[in-house]
Chain A
Amino acid sequence: MYRKLRFSFAVLMSLTLLLSACAGTETTVEPQASQPTQASEVEEEPEVLGDTGGLPDVDPASVSGNVLIAGSSTVYPLTERMVERFIEEGYSGQITVDSVGSGAGLERFCVAGETDIAAASRGIEEEEIANCANIGRTPIEFRVGTDALAIAVSTENDFLTGVTLEQLAQIFSSDAVLWSDVNPEWPTEDILRFSPGTDSGTYDYFVEAVMMPVYGEEGDAAESAILNSENIQFSEDDNVLVQGVQGSPYAIGYFGYAYYIENEGTLKALAVDDVVPNEESAESGDYPLARPLFLYSDAQIMQSKPQVADFLNFYLTYVNDEILSVGYFPASDAAIEEAKQAWLTNNQ
């Protein structure tokens, strides 16, 4: 008899499948191109082939082989978009992207030698360059964009619209437990903190740009301040942080701007030192927490795996088309030129 029950369960499930097949009007299915249009404006794209700022034109359909990318969770949405576009325009090989944090990504690149490209939301460090040298790799830096680090609170938070850098450092330190410890006008509630984990470039950047100016650059006072704070949750997965911040009016977190934009309805980005993060303030540098986004690769990899070179070429050429809709901001023209120059130099 319980066989019948089992069977009817299976039938029920199949009926569900059938129901799903009949219902729903959907458009066609392929992964879609990403166009940098804004709202209802249509931008003319008279893209002339060859107008790529000096880089040779690359046709994704003629590229084959695999590309392995791993690194920053901040850079991840941007890379994901570029990969999807690359595939849509004809690439048929195998690209994988892993969102593991800048530190872990650079480690896979420089210590294990497992990846072709490392993505980072901070600059590479001396130690990492030395590690790369140990396995015969010389990292080449490609600046691909700018992030305005978003200090996010829930839209239910009614007492904050902006903070100063100093207050921010205090908020994320072990000096303060309640909001009122930082500013007596704020509620006497626990500060629920959400921070990227120690493997994350965002964490490294935050310690350097926010904690160190207040707690000093000596030793690890700045890092200890944040690591020892109460009610803090660490995760390399920015989505987890977003959910955490969404959950309470007394929660605060920091992550890449793209993650804030994606969740604009439920999150509020605070102004820092009275500067609101947006395209102008990020590009002009007024926003104090604007930071660069990088990709790293190595000349020998680009030679032995031409698909990596082609992908980087494609990335640098079209990144400014996509970056705004992903939620980040274009790097300065000079920086992109420099990156393109680096590509050309290493691909002669």
Chain B
Amino acid sequence: MENQADRMLRANQKVTETAGISLKKRVRPGEFIIQGFLFFAGAFSILTTLGILYALGKEAMLFFSSPEVNLVEFFTGTRWQPQALQFGILPLAIATLITTLIAMLVAIPLGLFVAIYLSEFASPGLRNLLKPVLEVLAGIPTVVYGYFALTFMTPLLRSVFGRDVVDIYNTASAGLVMGILILPLITSMAEDALSAVPRSLREAAYSLGATRLETAIQVVMPAAISGLAAAFIIGISRAVGETMIVAIAAGAGPNLTLNPFKGAETMTGHIVRISGGDLSYDSIDYNSVFAIGLMLFFLTFTLNIISRAFVQRFREVYE
């Protein structure tokens, strides 16, 4: 006995037979090729990372395996002079540390405060005015900041602290300007984190009689802490990797000093100075620069992964 479904099926079959259409799935080679290309595009990024690891790693391995280089000395030695076969990374690492520290001292408090202001206190109109200002700050190329450091910040520091205290190339001026560079980055990430906290938490706090400040500091901030931590870590990573500001304003030549008013070269500044000259093929100088690059890569990669882990955590809590 035919039911309606069977009748419809028969009708369809008749229609398709008459029209000559096959309803079988058509093989489309074009789709295949395109899918292949898209997969390649996606996987290309893996190639990039592999490329970085290979390019840096190969030369760095050559460096570390050469007889003049001693791993302990590399990490603890206090002089970096490839010509004299001294390969202690401390002067460069400490200079990087000092500039990063100064940059964070500027960027973290200011960035956080601005983020709190924007997300908790500012009116929408003010927020729409201020966000583009911060975007502009973030979009300015770093070489411009380097110029600013050399032509404005250094003379300023010299007039405030005295010309004999502050050298013409110094890490303080580079660090301060780096802080200005990183400020918008921290602000935008921190603001995202603070805004992601649901209104319900704030409203609960208000209903208990808390002032706006108390809500912001004691309720919202702790709730967003992983996002804030992520922002700070990204800021640190950016400061470590920053090149042009230190190349222009911080000094040339590895110099082991804790005094921020003296010139010193950071890891990134050293790489730029040496490659601006030339990198002799397969000499120990060449390989040493790649060793520094590898250190830098691992450092920033690790910081970024930690930061991302934090962001994942805070996202999960509210979604």
Contact = CB atoms under 8 A, between A and B. Distances in A.
B252 A234 contact: yes
A199 B277 contact: yes
Given A2-B128, A223-B83, A244-B169, A233 B255 contact: yes
Contacts of B164: 189, 248, 250
A199 B275 CA distance: 11
A114 to B, nearest CB: 10
A236 B274 CA distance: 8
B82 A243 contact: no
Interface stretch (A44-52, A79-87, A103-111): A103-111
Given A2-B128, A100-B278, A112-B281, A223 B167 contact: no
Contacts of A77: none
Contacts of B133: 5
A331 B221 CA distance: 72
B253 A9 contact: no
B252 A1 contact: no
B184 interface: no
Contacts of A243: 168-169
A240 interface: yes
B163 A248 contact: yes
A232 to B, nearest CB: 6
Contacts, number: 92
A104 B132 contact: no
B19 interface: no
B278 A101 contact: yes
Interface residues of B, number: 30
Given A1-B129, A240-B252, A233 B169 contact: yes
A9 B86 CA distance: 51
Nearest to B251: A233
A296 to B, nearest CB: 16
Interface in B119-134: 125, 128-129, 131-133
B84 interface: yes
A188 interface: no
A215 to B, nearest CB: 13
Given A240-B252, A248-B167, A198 B82 contact: yes
Contacts of A181: none
Nearest to B263: A233
A2 B129 contact: yes
Given A198-B83, A227-B83, A235-B273, A108 B278 contact: yes
Contacts of B159: none
B73 to A, nearest CB: 15
Interface in B89-141: 125, 128-129, 131-133, 136
Contacts of A192: 167
B62 to A, nearest CB: 17
Contacts of A220: 84
B293 to A, nearest CB: 19
Nearest to B79: A228
Nearest to B254: A234
A237 interface: yes
Contacts of B30: none
B212 to A, nearest CB: 24
Given A9-B136, A227-B81, A228-B81, A100 B128 contact: no
Most chain-A CB neighbours within 10 Å: which of B79, B81, B252?
A: B252
B272 to A, nearest CB: 11
B168 A223 contact: no
A346 interface: no
A236 B280 CA distance: 14
B209 interface: no
A5 B163 CA distance: 40
Contacts of A103: 278, 280
B67 interface: no
A224 B255 CA distance: 15
Interface in A206-247: 220, 223-224, 227-228, 231-237, 240, 243-244, 246-247
Interface in A76-132: 100-101, 103-105, 107-108, 111-112
Given A223-B83, A248-B163, A232 B278 contact: no
B29 interface: no
Contacts of A228: 79, 81, 84
Given A100-B277, A101-B278, A5 B129 contact: yes
A100 B84 contact: no
Nearest to A114: B278
Interface in B219-274: 251-253, 255, 262-263, 273
A306 interface: no
A111 B128 contact: no
B84 A247 contact: no
Nearest to A246: B168
B139 to A, nearest CB: 11
B168 A248 contact: yes
B80 to A, nearest CB: 10
Contacts of B42: none
Interface of A: 1-2, 5-6, 9, 70, 100-101, 103-105, 107-108, 111-112, 189, 192, 195, 197-199, 220, 223-224, 227-228, 231-237, 240, 243-244, 246-248, 250
Given A1-B128, A189-B164, A228-B84, 7 more contacts: A2-B129, A104-B280, A198-B81, A220-B84, A227-B81, A227-B83, A231-B262
6 closest A-B pairs by beta carbon, nearest first, are A247-B168, A104-B278, A234-B253, A235-B252, A233-B253, A2-B132
23 contacts: A1-B125, A1-B129, A2-B129, A100-B276, A101-B278, A105-B278, A192-B167, A195-B253, A197-B277, A198-B81, A198-B83, A199-B277, A220-B84, A223-B84, A227-B84, A227-B86, A233-B252, A233-B253, A233-B263, A243-B168, A244-B168, A244-B169, A247-B168
